[in-house]
Chain A
Amino acid sequence: MIYQLPVLIVVQLLLGSFIMPIVGRFKNQLIPYISLFLMGLSHVFSIILLFRVVQEGNIHYHLGNWAPPWGIEIVADLLGAYMAVIVTGIGFLVLVFAWRHIQREINYALRGWFYTLVLLIAGAMVGMVITNDLFNMYVMVEIVSLCGPALVAIRNNRLAVEAGFKYLIMIALGSGPILFGIALIYMITGHLNMTFAGQEVINAIQEYPRVALLAQAFFIVGFGVKAALFPLHVWLPDAYSYAPSPSSALLAGLAAKVYIVGLTRVLFNLYGIEMLSTTPLFTILKIMAVAGIIMGSIMALNQKDIKRLVAYSSVAQIGYIFLGLSLVTGFSVTGAVLHILNHALIKSMMFLCCGVIIYQKKTSNIDELGGVGKEFPITMICFGIGAFAMVGIPMLNGFISKWYISLGALEYGGLAGLMYLLVIILSSLLNGLYYLPVLIKAFLGGDSQKETQIDKAPITLILPIVILAAGIIILGLLPFVPLQIASDAAQHLLGQ
């Protein structure tokens, strides 16, 4: 039964999302309970899977019992199991939050569809990270790409529909190049399985060097549009700020990262490091990542809307992950893989905090949120913990991943390494520069005659935020288990 766990997680989430409309037709009240149960069960299964992979190595599963060159192979290695735990865990917490919250933001008729979309996107994300077949990955990428704009536009007001449409067009423009890249790889290697194609591409690059280069370029543009790499990120601020808060938390924390994991699998597992160092590919990725870090922070400086501020901060953090992946040293890839976990926790928590504040105050403009720290102490303390973790204060988990990326920049060496280190330090300063005014205005602004009320929001809205904040602090003090997993995954990616 352990051998079938990877497929079981994906299948139960997808089947659950298919039966939701039928259940909603007869008994509308059962929908949240069934989806919470399925997501919790998937989380338990993915933790068991992670333990099994850590102790005994990769799990190979052949769909339909067809051996690899003819059938689809599913490989649950360290990176895949780690991502599955993150996806199902944060999905579970977002569903707990959304139970009461979506009554304010989504119409009655569309509430059941929200749970359908969340189960579908979670199942497809887990499916994307554990597959070893290029076309299976393309199908899962398309499912996630279609559910993302649906989660944005489900709010059904004029701003959200326009943001959802822009997101959909950009993401459809990204699917084309990915399929083109898969076609080119099939043309020169004749296999669609990543392991077999990786063995064949060594011979193929001698004969067709330009076709391999073209395929790499298409993959970077395709996955880059979906993962909000710097010049291709233009859909992100509108989409994340006008979506309902639970779906912003889900999309910002998870959906932008699984595409980076997909790109990592294609570049590192299929092409391999030795081949990629002969092309100027990683230099281009480094430049785009650095530009994303700086420009994301600068554009966040003059935002007046709190969700838009957090969304621009996402662009900068995704730039960090790309920088860590493209400086191809052991420390930096470890830092990038760890930052995927840290950023998922921090950003989801910050969007959920924004959701609580907007739920009660009905506005999201920063100037009108003065004094909010006295009315919602627990929420704003957690927001402050998240902001400090994003800046990189020690004892919180953001510090550890930034430390590892900086060590990687130093290990990369030379003048360029020092310049990347300077960029990381400068952007930490910029992060503080735009988060601190929000915190100061929240705690010290406004009139001081308001009596403090412990959060009057329901307990199911506060509990996921507190759990995530506790996770941030615990991972900052005792990072040993995720650090070991990230380090082993990085060694495996770099081929050692």
Chain B
Amino acid sequence: MAEAIIALGQNYFFYYALILFMVGFYTTLSHSNILKKIIGINIMETSIFLFFVALGYVEGGQAPIMGRGAEGGPYMNPLPSALILTGIVVSVSITAFALALMVKLYQFYGTLDADEIVMLRGERE
């Protein structure tokens, strides 16, 4: 039990990332407004990026930038940062595409509520 508390004390980033993942996931599935679904996807993806960057944390390290004469000393792991740059761009493209589809949905159906859209689509079919 004691080592669980110690582990909790050392890894708090991972727990907060998991809480944010659950918040984002639940929002996407349960809220009926489309913009809230898109915000939920963004929150879920940024929580995964937080998890990934927190992997590269080294105790007492400095940012992995070679300044003037900055040799030695522990550096933080630069690999997760490089991967997350790609991930953020992917997340922005998904958001942009979803927002474009949202505008089109409003033009066709006149409402932004997912439940009403399903009902309207079922009536006309």
Contacts and interface: CB of A to CB of B under 8 A. Distances in A.
A and B touch in the complex (CB under 8 A): yes
Given A161-B101, A162-B105, A172 B94 contact: yes
A19 interface: no
Given A158-B109, A161-B101, A168-B101, A183 B37 contact: no
Contact of B21 (A135, A146, A180, A192): A180
Contact of B98 (A142, A165, A186, A192): A165
B25 A173 contact: yes
A153 B104 contact: yes
Nearest to A186: B55
A393 to B, nearest CB: 34
A183 B51 contact: yes
A458 interface: no
A179 interface: yes
A135 B34 CA distance: 30
Which secondary structure dominates where chain B touches chain A? helix
Interface string B9-52: 00000000000010011001100001001000100110010011
A355 interface: no
Contacts of B37: 169
B98 A183 contact: no
A169 to B, nearest CB: 6
A164 B97 CA distance: 11
A234 to B, nearest CB: 12
Contact of A169 (B24, B98, B125): B98
Given A146-B97, A159-B121, A168-B97, A183 B52 contact: yes
Interface string B63-89: 000000000000000011001001100
Contacts of A150: 97
A146 B101 contact: no
Contacts of A183: 48, 51-52, 55
A458 B55 CA distance: 58
Main SS at interface, chain A: helix
Contact of A179 (B79, B87, B97, B117): B87
A176 interface: yes
A187 B117 CA distance: 42
Looking at B21, B104, B109, B124, the one whose CB has the most chain A CB atoms below 10 A away is B104
Contacts of A273: none
A470 interface: no
Contacts of B28: 169, 173
B100 to A, nearest CB: 9
A207 B21 CA distance: 25
Contacts of B55: 183, 186-187
Contacts, number: 80
Interface in A118-167: 135, 139, 142, 146, 149-150, 153, 156-159, 161-162, 164-165
B52 A179 contact: yes
Interface residues of B, number: 34
Nearest to B34: A165
B3 to A, nearest CB: 14
Contact of A149 (B34, B48, B97, B108): B97
A440 to B, nearest CB: 26
B90 A142 contact: yes
A73 B80 CA distance: 18
A142 B80 CA distance: 18
A168 B94 contact: yes
Contacts of B62: none
Contacts of A159: 121, 125
Given A139-B86, A162-B121, A168-B98, A176 B48 contact: yes
Interface string A186-218: 110000100000000000000000000000000
B101 to A, nearest CB: 5
B110 to A, nearest CB: 11
Contacts of A146: 93-94, 97
A176 B125 contact: no
A135 B52 contact: no
Contact of A158 (B21, B41, B52, B121): B121
A135 B86 CA distance: 10
B33 to A, nearest CB: 13
A165 B104 CA distance: 10
Nearest to B80: A186
Contact of B105 (A165, A173, A175): A165
A161 B105 contact: yes
A157 B94 CA distance: 21
Given A158-B109, A173-B25, A173-B28, A165 B101 contact: yes
A150 B104 CA distance: 13
**6 closest pairs, A vs B, by CB?**
A158-B108, A165-B101, A183-B52, A142-B90, A161-B104, A172-B41
Given A150-B97, A176-B44, A176-B45, 4 more contacts: A169-B98, A180-B48, A180-B51, A192-B79
Interface of B: 21, 24-25, 28-29, 34, 37, 41, 44-45, 48, 51-52, 55, 79-80, 83, 86-87, 90, 93-94, 97-98, 101-102, 104-105, 108-109, 117, 121, 124-125
23 contacts: A139-B86, A139-B90, A142-B94, A150-B97, A153-B104, A156-B104, A158-B121, A161-B101, A162-B105, A165-B98, A168-B94, A168-B98, A172-B41, A172-B98, A173-B29, A176-B24, A176-B41, A176-B45, A176-B48, A179-B45, A179-B87, A180-B48, A180-B51
